[in-house]
Amino acid sequence: MSEDIDFGKVEELAGKVIGDVAGAMSVFMAVLGDKAKLFDLMDGKGPLTLEQLADLSGMNSKYLHEWLGSVSAAGYVTYDPEKETFEVTPEQALVFGREGQPACMQGFFEIILSQFATHEKAAEVFISGEGRPWSDHLPCCFCGTDRFFRPGYAANLVATWIPALEGVEDKLKAGAKIADIGCGHGTSSVLMAQAYPNSKVVGIDFHAPSIEAAKAKAAEAGVDNVEFIVAKAQDYPGDDFDFACIFDALHDMGDPVGAARHIRETLKDDGTFMLVEPMAGDSMADNMHPMGQIFYAASCVVCTPASLAQEVGLGLGAQAGQKRLTEVLNEAGFENVRRAAETPTNMVLEVTG
């Protein structure tokens, strides 16, 4: 079979791939810089020579030379070739350092690296079609997930998402019973416990090490109106909740319909369920952009295998979109689904009825 190859297209694609490979290496370099605390060390110091940075950090200048070359070529650090200096500008500090800022990407990077580190297992289940439990991932995957989502929740949950729901903020201020299902390391539960001291929050997750991390987080924050329990979304204990929420976890569940049904059964009749899911359009064609590229990939190696490892194994995927999520919620018995808020990475659905 003869084939007509357009070498212009080959060149164009290869050029794009070189950019992707450069990005992959840059993510790795950014993680090294984070672990060595170089971005924070350079933040606010102005232009530094290699020797000055070696003195400041106490690190080997041979390594620093190579690292600076790579991150400067990437634009993660600003290089002045005339003066031979390297600077972390305030903008670069916000993206690569300054823990807890919404623009900080280091949590993202940790998740990616954790997947590369266990790529053989990912390939095994990808080929066999079997599930891979959430608990099978490296601890840095859980910490990275929390680190990635935390700044967005800190910036939006209390300030905009809850106020965007019909009548919920007043109830939480007055004192309500809240369930945070699939709470992971408990950031969202602790934020709500702090913001609504009259309310009682129950954080629920089936991953025991995450619940331990959540308890430690609550103790560190000094909040006593939050409790964490190891339980499944489909049958956690308790009832008469005024407010239930799931943050970026419904699509990880094997039985999202069962989970939503249990939420409905354990909510008061006038209760509200807030579902936070990754931002996505309703069809694959809507998601052909960098965020779609990232979320489908994360879903391929983390979310979908986690769902397939559980009972039912629906494998909803991290880019399900509001239409598909609404079908799941309707099947669980909820009648009303409304997009109450959104950010570039998340959609916030108000679910009632």
Ligand X SMILES: C[S@@+](CC[C@H](N)C(=O)[O-])C[C@H]1O[C@@H](n2cnc3c(N)ncnc32)[C@H](O)[C@@H]1O
Q: Which residues bind ligand X (CB under 6 A)?
A: 134, 145-146, 149, 182-184, 187, 205-207, 210, 232-233, 247-249, 252-253, 310
CA dist 78 and 89 (Å) reads: 7
Token code pair at residue 96: 């690569």
Which has the closest alpha carbon to 171: 200, 139, 140? Answer: 200
Tell me how crowded residue 166 is: count the other CB atoms within 10 A of its CB.
11
**Smallest distance, ligand X to C-beta of residue 204, A:** 6
Give the CA count within 13 Å in the CB-facing half-sphere of 107: 18
Alpha carbon distance 211, 103 (integer Å)? 26
- Smallest gap from residue 254 Cβ to ligand X (A): 6
> 316 with 251: CB under 8 angstroms?
yes
Of 115 and 310, the one with the shorter C-beta distance to ligand X is 310
Closer CB to ligand X, residue 70 or residue 187?
Answer: 187
Judged by CB, which is closer to ligand X: 187, or 326?
A: 187
* Closer to ligand X by Cβ: residue 70 or 106: 106
Beta carbon of residue 145, minimum distance to ligand X (angstroms, whole number): 5
Shortest distance, CB of residue 131 to ligand X, whole angstroms? 11
- Rounded to the nearest whole angstrom, what is the least distance from the CB of residue 162 to ligand X in the complex? 15
Q: Least separation, in Å, of the C-beta of 269 and ligand X?
A: 24
Backbone angles phi, psi at 180, to 5 degrees: -115, 100
Rounded distance between C-alpha atoms, residue 299 and residue 280, angstroms: 12
Question: Helix or strand or coil: residue 54?
Answer: helix
Nearer to ligand X, 93 or 143 (CB): 143
- Supply the minimum distance, in Å, between the C-beta of residue 18 and ligand X: 31
What 3-state class would DSSP assign to 274? strand
Evaluate whether 195 touches 170 at the Cβ level (below 8 Å): no
Min separation Cβ 153 and ligand X, Å: 7
Helix, strand, coil % in the chain, rounded to nearest 5: 55, 15, 30
Q: What residue is closest to ligand X based on CB?
A: 184
Nearer to ligand X, 205 or 350 (CB): 205
Q: What are the helix (H) ranges across 157-274?
A: 168-174, 187-195, 208-221, 256-266
Closest CB to ligand X among residues 59, 154? 154
Cα–Cα distance between 252 and 299 in angstroms, integer?
9
Nearest one of 267, 263, 69, 241 to 172, comparing CA atoms = 241
